[in-house]
Structure 1
């Protein structure tokens, strides 16, 4: 009996010690918080320029958050507009920070890409709010029941530069570095448009990229006229070769491709206002042209597909400007074009540089 009694006593002691060890290993988590002014930055006014795209634009660093004990904490750097902060940062951009790091360096091109994705106007100073979110990580990856903690918020003045969208595809060897581009629409952040010729019969595939390489954001097919920024997404496509008007709306992740044939129409032209005089596309020179007998006492416009859907007039500075455009809307108050004298003219319409459309009148 003494042996049994001694064994029970020993078991009780071991159980007690084991219980104490387990209890001592528990972490008493508390509501998280950062020290005052935990987040700081290397500057407050930043002007981004493409010639310095691989240089550091700004560095953020922060003091560690406290949740009690020693839980595993992960950090997320958040950037948003002032409107975001009033909407609980609902559309702010988030960057996951590597474990153990309390500093993040933004290089110019990455920060510029992020600001463009936020659709803030380029080439002007914008107020950008920045904060750090601290999360307690569950050992099994499940969502934590501990509420995140947030640092102080910094307000930075950042000027970004506009991005072009490159259009690599099978029609030119899938080479972003040599691809034509869509240009940002002035005054309409997130909107891009331009013209691309895709020669050859049959379906053509292409993508949009926001840099002349595959190392940044690539826009592939998301279905139903939308983008997908997954690098493995299928290409966008058109059903047949030809000259296309392409658009991209990064606000809605949508795009369009409209095959166009250009012509002239007006009482200065052979067909008056009734019949379009079609132009021909010269692939080598990348221009549309037509030779026709024109009249001084009259005017004309360039229009696509024999319809008042996509056409050009002249603005107050004598530059081509869209009158009708389903992507950009209608512009009132534009002038028609005209020729200085009666005679035979070669009219040339050059649309190959996105956003910089020109025409010439050559009297023969």
Structure 2
């Protein structure tokens, strides 16, 4: 005979047992906590004064010692030295960890905690304690809190060279030469650290919210190449222009001690025009017959892992993938649906998919962030150019020939609604602008045999080939803001 179980009573019994178990566990924690003998710092006094200075950063102020925590049983113990700007330790800084009951307290170690807590101060109050922690089931305990009085110094790196006000005239013929050797002092913590330094630049008046990284280095100096500086500054200003640039050193000391920044110096940089290549990724999909070799490219203008472009979909509900090459290598897909989602390596079985109406055409402004692993597709109803266009490029003898391999791609400048690029023309020959690296849509000059650097454009067979008057690198702008009167500019 089967016994019928009353599920209501059964669940109640399980709930009671769980509550009883956890209550017993918490009671056990309380009993353990009541029997713990907390650590006690033995060679520190209340309101003790420490005048900290950079010149003595590595000096040992005290071999700090404390009595061991007694739990009533043997267990490995870790001790952490903590400081804060308030007695509640709401924003604490850990400045050392050990399994011993001693720690060398250097001026630099104490200063890093005081500086992170208080900033630059004279006779500021700093609170210190020892945290004792073992396994998760046993509560952590703390020593008595000591109040210290400290003078702090800035441990940030300091730029030695260049000095503020220095000017650099960059020239293309010196592209591979050393422009200067930048140097800086170390972020001084008073103990060995594996700081990584980044030389960062921004425009005068900028706040370094989106700095351009010039070089990363673990040392205290770096040779800066002319081409390297020119490419970096050209991400902030038009190539060939002159601008005042802020420069600083960013010291990364990891998650424990955080980030430090040097003073800023102001430099005058005159750049030269040069062909700039940008990192790209590709979007093969059903809307272009899954042909990765001819897939639209998304460009990272600032080389920061964020790629974007306008892409024309002949089917607004099309599936697609992201690839890192013009092939299937590194293909990425997901079963999440745009316009917003995450980018994840989901293999060949999954695709991204637009949410437009099946069978309709659409233009999307697609942004792929490979740093945050996100994708966003924004439908564009106010498309400022022909909606059949994914890309514009220059092709012809002036850029090496009329084969597709010679297309010099332009990049859409969303801020100014222009197609732009710095293009290295190789001959004083003929050229045209064309869409999608194809001849279905192209533009040329309305007048035959005219050598010019700007002017109106005429579509298709009615447009003559444009003629280049001088071989060099030009900043090219293609303007479709007035669709009835498109024009171009080379400068």
TM-score, length of structure 1 as denominator length: 0.45
Higher-RCO chain (CA-CA 8 Å, sequence separation at least 6): 1
**TM-score, normalization: structure 2?**
0.35
Q: Which has the larger radius of gyration?
A: 2
